[in-house]
Chains A and B, each alone.
Chain A
Amino acid sequence: QVQLVESGGGVVQPGGSLRLSCVVSGFSISNYGMHWVRQAPGKGLEWVAVISYDESNKNYGDSEKGRFIISRDISKNTLYLQMNTLRAEDTAVYYCAKDHAWGEYRPYFDYWGQGTLVTVSS
C-alpha cells in the first residue's frame, strides 16, 4: 500500500527557512521520480520541484529556483524540500507526489501525500 506522509510545515517569518519531509512507504523512491507540488489557500495547483529516480535531474519552478532545494535519503525512503528566503507568496499546502515514471520527462503524479501547510507571516 502506497503512502506518502509529509511533515515540517508551520509558521515562519518572511526571510526564514523551513525543511519539509515526506516519508514514503509501499515503493522505493530510488525507482521513481518524486515531486513537490503546492497549493496556496483557495487557489490552484503549482508544481514546485522534482528529483528523478537516479538524482540526475533536479528541476525547480521559476519562483523557487535558487531558494528551494530538493533532496532525498534512500536509506530512509524520504524526500525533503529545504525552503530558504521564504516569502508571503510561498504560503501554501505543500504536497509530495510520486511520478508515474522516472521523473526525467513527462511527469504526472499518481500518488500524493495529504499535504503540510506552510504559512509565511510576520
Chain B
Amino acid sequence: DIQLTQSPSFLSASVGDRVTITCRASQGISSYLVWYQQKPGKAPKVLIYAASILQSGVPSRFSGSGSGTEFSLTISSLQPEDFATYYCQQYNGYPPTFGPGTKLDIK
C-alpha cells in the first residue's frame, strides 16, 4: 500500500497568515492526490483534486501543487473558517490511502 506522510502534524497560525502543508507519498502517484478539509463533527470536504485543481465552490485562497511523491496545500490568507484538520489522499489505485492529517488552529 502507498503510505502518505504529512507535515506538520499541528500548525498554529493567525488570521491573514499564509500557510503551507506538505504531503509525501512512499512511491510516485503522478498527480493523483486530493486534499480534504474536515471540521469537528463534520464529514471531510474536497478542496483540491488532481493535486492542483480547485474543487468548484472552494475559495481561490486555497491552492495545491506537486507531482510524483511531494505535494503541498497552501492557504494564501487564512480566514477564521479555515481552522480545521486537513488530509491528503492518494488515488493512484486501490487501496486509496490518507495522510494522518494536519490540524490547523488559531494562534
Residues of A within 8 A of B (CB): 44-47, 50, 59, 61-62, 95, 100, 105-110, 112-115
Residue B101 at the A interface, CB < 8 A?
Answer: yes
Q: Which residue of B lies closest to A104 (CB)?
A: B94
Tell me the dominant secondary structure on chain B's binding face: loop
Kindly state the interface size class of chain B when it binds its partner.
Answer: 20 to 34
Chain A residues whose C-beta falls within 8 Å of the C-beta of B71 in the assembled complex: none
Task: Let me know if B44 and A61 touch, CB within 8 A.
Answer: no
Tell me the minimal C-beta distance from B98 to chain A in angstroms: 4
Q: How far is the CB of A13 from chain B (nearest CB, A)?
A: 26
Additional pairs, 4, CB under 8 Å, beyond known A47-B95, A112-B45: A44-B100, A95-B44, A108-B96, A109-B46
Given A44-B87, A47-B98, is A108 in contact with B44 using a C-beta cutoff of 8 Å?
A: no
Contact B34 A108 (CB under 8 A): yes
| Neighbour of B96 across the interface among A47, A62, A115, CB < 8 A | A47
Q: A100-B49, A115-B43 are in contact. Are A107 and B91 (CB under 8 A)?
A: yes
Chain A residue at smallest Cβ distance from B89: A108
Q: What's the least CB distance linking B34 to chain A, in Å?
A: 4
Total A-B Cβ pairs within 8 A: 52
Cβ 8 A contact of A59, one of B42, B46, B55, B95: B95
B59 within 8 A of A: no
Enumerate chain B residues within 8 angstroms of A115, measured Cβ to Cβ: 43
In the complex with contacts A100-B49, A109-B46, A114-B43, A45-B87 CB distance below 8 A: yes
Chain A residues with CB under 8 Å of B45's CB are: 112
Q: Is the CB of B94 within 8 A of A59?
A: yes
Residues of chain B within 8 A (CB-CB) of A45 are 36, 44, 87, 89, 98, 101
* Cα distance, A43 to B36, chains bound together (Å): 15
> A110 → chain B, closest Cβ, in Å?
5
Question: Across the interface, do B44 and A105 meet the contact criterion of CB distance under 8 Å?
Answer: no
CB distance from A61 to the nearest CB of B (A): 6
B80: CB under 8 A from chain A? no
A108 to B36, CA, bound (A): 10
